[in-house]
Amino acid sequence: MPHTEIAKQADYLFIMLGYPHDVEKMVFCPENGLYKHMKKGAYLIDHTTSSPSLNVRMAEEAAKIDVKVIDAPVSGGDIGAKNGKLVTMVGGEKDDVDHVRPLLDMYSAQVELMGAAGAGQHAKAANQIMIANNLFGVCEALIYGQKSGLNLDQMVQLLSKGAAGSFQLSGLAPRILARNLEPGFYVEHFVKDLGIALAECKNMGIALPGMSQSAQFFNAYVAQGGAKKGTHGLIEVLEGLNNMKIDTY
C-alpha cells in the first residue's frame, strides 16, 4: 500500500528512515508528502535519528493542519529492537507523548520525554557522541591488550564487570573477537548521526574534540569500504594503522 494511502487511514503513523533528507521529502513533498494526506488529529511518531531543527519545523507545520508530531529516536541497536528493550528519547508536547506512551512502551525498556520538539534528537546526538568515544576506546583497548599479550576474551569478560563496562565492551567486543563485523547498526548511518552532532556543535559554538576525532576514523572506514559494516568494524581501521590484526576465537 502506498504511504499516501496509509497516511489517509492512520491514526498513529510511525516513520523511521535513513537520513534527514528522506524525512523531509516524505513529510513535505508537495504532492506525496505525509502532510498532504494525514487526517486531522492523527499522530506522527518519527523514530529517525535526524536533525533537531527539522523536527522543530515538522512540529510547527503539523500544528497548522491539526497533526501531532513526536520526535522519538531510539537506542539499543538490533538486540534492543529484537528484545523490545529500546530506549526511546522523546521530544514534543507532554499531553501528546502521554497519549502515545502505551504504544512506545510496547517495544521500549524506557521512554523519556526530554523536552519540546527536537529535544529527543538532541538526546540521541548525545547518545551517539558517547558511543563514538566509547567504541573508539574499546577498539584501542583491544589493540593494546593484543600487543601486551593478554587473553582478549578474558580481558573483555573481566573488564565488562568493572568501571569500564558498557554495551560497546560487553556486546560489541565479543563480535569483534569472533570477527563478526555484520551490522547491528551501519557505519554509514553512524557517520550521518555524527555529522548531525557536529553540525549542532557548530550551531551552539562548542568544541568536542573526542567526538570529532572519532568521526574522522569512522569516515576513514567508509572510505575503505566499511559503510555497510557494523560500527564495531572500526577495529579494522586501527588494525591497519598499527599493521596488525587482533586474535580471534
In the set 64, 124, 192, 228, the catalytic residue is 124
Residue 79 domain-assigned (yes or no): yes
Query: Same domain, yes or no, for 47 and 145?
Result: no
Residue 17 domain-assigned (yes or no): yes
Residue 147 domain-assigned (yes or no): yes
Report the pLDDT value the prediction gives residue 157, as an integer from 0 to 100: 96
Q: What is the mean pLDDT of residues 80-107?
A: 95
CATH of the domain at 76: 3.40.50.720
Last residue in a domain, options 62, 96, 115: 115
Residue 146 pLDDT > 70: yes
The whole-chain average pLDDT of the chain stands at 95
Residue 249 pLDDT > 70: no
User: What is the full DSSP assignment across the chain?
Assistant: --HHHHHHH-SEEEE--SSHHHHHHHHH-TTT-GGGTPPTT-EEEE-S---HHHHHHHHHHHHTTT-EEEE--EESHHHHHHTT-EEEEEES-HHHHHHHHHHHHTTEEEEEEEESTTHHHHHHHHHHHHHHHHHHHHHHHHHHHHHTT--HHHHHHHHTTSTT--HIIIIIHHHHHTT----SSBHHHHHHHHHHHHHHHHHHT---HHHHHHHHHHHHHHHTT-TTSBGGGGHHHHHHHHT------
Tell me which of 12-16, 28-32, 123-127, 192-196 is least confident: 28-32
Q: What percentage of the chain exceeds 90 in pLDDT? A: 92
Residue 248 domain-assigned (yes or no): no
Last residue in a domain, options 84, 115, 146: 115
Query: Same domain, yes or no, for 177 and 84?
Result: no
- Predicted TM-score of the model (pTM): 0.92
Residue 237 domain-assigned (yes or no): yes
Domain boundaries, position 202: 122-242
Q: What is the mean pLDDT of residues 107-129?
A: 97
Residue 249 domain-assigned (yes or no): no
Number of structural domains (the chain) is 2
Last residue in a domain, options 115, 144, 162: 115
Residue 97 domain-assigned (yes or no): yes
Q: What is the mean pLDDT of residues 212-235?
A: 96
Query: Same domain, yes or no, for 110 and 168?
Result: no
Q: How confident is the model at residue 97 (pLDDT cuts 50, 70, 90)?
A: very high
Q: What is the pLDDT of residues 10-42, one digit of tens each?
A: 999 999 999 999 999 999 999 899 999 999 999
Instruction: Judge whether 124 counts as a catalytic residue.
Output: yes
Q: What is the mean pLDDT of residues 40-63?
A: 96
